[in-house]
Structure 1
């Protein structure tokens, strides 16, 4: 019951010459690895029967789509699909289209303006999904298996099938509701499954990628290598069709910037971190709100220090006893930026120092898909006088919950955990240390652990 679009086998087929180069014009593709270049090389249609040896033929439409005319598939829904007949722009195992601009780094100036659209037709029978496949790699790869992230966008599914991994959230993106699934099969697979079927989609690539980045499953330094749209049939598949497909830039189409976000506020400030929250922006230009940029300044110049697809952000790695100023701006799917919000000023707490001060350093002992154990958190009296009790604070990432703590007591307020010594370990001579530990749960697939421990 899962998608498993494994390309490792495909790389070997290319290496042995079994994967045929795209034909110039092929009205019907029945070869297992057959493909055809259309619109003077702008797109490539591929038959791509990678998960079975059953027959499949696709009728290529030179105007920009294809129809599956024959499909004898009968794969078990507990395993991989039989194929991924699709149309794509970009580079896939050495076969590159012309004029796509891919590979492109996800922090490039033109990335926010990339848009794709598709229209699809579904038969009444068969077991399949109808999905985009967006591939990202840490390098500008044009051949071989991408190792960064695979983003799938399921417009529809029929039958007893599900994406790789487990469901971790439900979000609203590109004006619709989507289930978010996450798993890892040697690379991160983030799937967005529409909660109600659709036959078309027109969206900014960054709308979904920004959400994946915000969840810690993708990085802005990675490269988009290809944008693909098609179907994964397990059983049958004849009659599935892509009527139209496009990838291009929306620059010049939507020129209306989003509205100004609400004034930010700060909470949970420690010596090395603070959490910001603000009122949501709105977008009326048609390309949809893609996320927010967080701007920080210690002098006169504000620079971008991070991004968020929600209305909150935790900034870490700050210096103790330092004043920072923050603003927030919104961006839409066409790359338009809103005016900057009002400014909030934050002063971090004093760090541990001499004269009875203390420091806290943490070690992550173990971590798994939806939890972790941090121990020891070592509290050291680095001052010149004895300590009569100590308190450690740290920010808890959103969605995380402390499920147990030993050798200390704790409370949680907002996003801040406050840990206090017990009767038997609060007195520390200069240079002495003591440790405590805790276990926490986190959303499945989230890779964060707390940082920014402050001792007082």
Structure 2
């Protein structure tokens, strides 16, 4: 995969938000209306401790295509959202990383984090595409490092669709969070990337885990310097390559627990 550093919308964001509809007091159950629709390249929206980014950072490698991300609902306990895309050309290039990110206080050292708990239910339709579904977490020795990159990148893939591959080479298989994962390691610019993929090729449509377990494993077995790294971003989303599909997250939550 060619996976270049991408700019986050906290720098380049353009928001297209529609107002949240107020409940109508009648005998009909009110319809939940979308909180925001993001169609600009770095369209951004934030609410209730989460932020969303359309993040079409790799659109230049496509011969044609577009993508829009819709935030359905947000609360302190979790969110629901979707992204619909159509990308053609550059079949081995990532076009975007539409994502939901957890907001947190900057300056948290990784060694002081007790857990990074998360829960997600998602789906992809149709599935004849090239894409992945993955968590993406950046850490850096500088607690004020730009959120567009880090010193280290952790990716936990919940699905590898259409024969796409992560950065680097497979180095081992390990059991974490109740599943066996193939670990790939390689460079993304100046970052070192650790990518965990389901060893049996299955898709984790429902996933409930503590991602701190992955960092603890890397610190003990892969030389990750957990004592001098700070959490920079904690996101979950999808990287499309080619095709046309809708990624739907019916529920998602993430927490940084100290």
TM bracket (short chain): 0.7 to 0.9
Instruction: Work out which of the residue numbers 62, 68, 84 in structure 1 matches 2:73.
Output: 62
1:374 match: none
SS in 2 for 1:147: coil
Structure with the larger RCO, 1 or 2 (CA within 8 Å, 6+ apart): 2
2:210 match: 204
SS in 2 for 1:122: strand
Q: Is the 8 A contact 1:20 1:34 kept in 2?
A: yes
1:20 match: 13
Q: Is the 8 A contact 2:109 2:227 kept in 1?
A: yes
Per-residue CA shift, 1:299-322, capped at 9, x if unaligned? xxxxxxxxxxxxxxxxxxxxxxxx
The answer to whether structure 1 residue 171 and structure 2 residue 174 are counterparts is: yes
Q: Distance in 2 between matches of 1:182 and 1:65?
A: 31
Instruction: Work out which of the residue numbers 110, 113, 131 in structure 2 matches 1:106.
Output: 110
Q: Provide the TM-score with structure 2 as the length reference.
A: 0.80
Instruction: Work out which of the residue numbers 31, 36, 55 in structure 1 matches 2:40.
Output: 31
Q: Is the 8 A contact 1:136 1:147 kept in 2?
A: yes
Q: Distance in 2 between matches of 1:137 and 1:250?
A: 18
Q: Is the 8 A contact 2:140 2:152 kept in 1?
A: yes
TM-fit CA distance, 1:3: 4.7
Q: Is the 8 A contact 2:16 2:39 kept in 1?
A: no
SS in 1 for 2:164: coil
Q: What does 1:309-388 align with in structure 2 at a 5 Å threshold?
A: none
TM-fit CA distance, 1:230: 0.5
Q: Distance in 2 between matches of 1:161 and 1:136?
A: 25
Query: CA 1:210 to 1:230, structure 2 compared with 1: closer, same or farther past 3 Å?
Result: same
Q: Is the 8 A contact 1:75 1:82 kept in 2?
A: no
Q: Distance in 2 between matches of 1:226 and 1:22?
A: 20
Query: CA 1:114 to 1:102, structure 2 compared with 1: closer, same or farther past 3 Å?
Result: farther
Query: CA 1:129 to 1:213, structure 2 compared with 1: closer, same or farther past 3 Å?
Result: same
Q: Is the 8 A contact 1:171 1:178 kept in 2?
A: yes
| Count of equivalent residues | 229
Q: What does 1:389-400 align with in structure 2 at a 5 Å threshold?
A: none
Per-residue CA shift, 1:232-257, capped at 9, x if unaligned? 00013522112222122568xxxxxx
SS in 2 for 1:107: helix
Q: Distance in 2 between matches of 1:6 and 1:249?
A: 24
SS in 2 for 1:101: coil
Instruction: Work out which of the residue numbers 97, 101, 121 in structure 2 matches 1:88.
Output: 101
Q: Which runs of 5+ in 1 are unaligned?
A: 90-96, 252-456
Higher helix residue share: 2
The answer to whether structure 1 residue 4 and structure 2 residue 10 are counterparts is: no
Q: Distance in 2 between matches of 1:224 and 1:84?
A: 19
TM-fit CA distance, 1:65: 2.4
The answer to whether structure 1 residue 213 and structure 2 residue 201 are counterparts is: no
SS in 1 for 2:208: strand
Q: Distance in 2 between matches of 1:20 and 1:141?
A: 19
Per-residue CA shift, 1:273-300, capped at 9, x if unaligned? xxxxxxxxxxxxxxxxxxxxxxxxxxxx
Taking only aligned residues, the RMSD between alpha carbons, in angstroms, comes to 2.4
Q: Provide the TM-score with structure 1 as the length reference.
A: 0.47
Q: Is the 8 A contact 2:54 2:98 kept in 1?
A: yes
Q: Is the 8 A contact 1:125 1:236 kept in 2?
A: yes
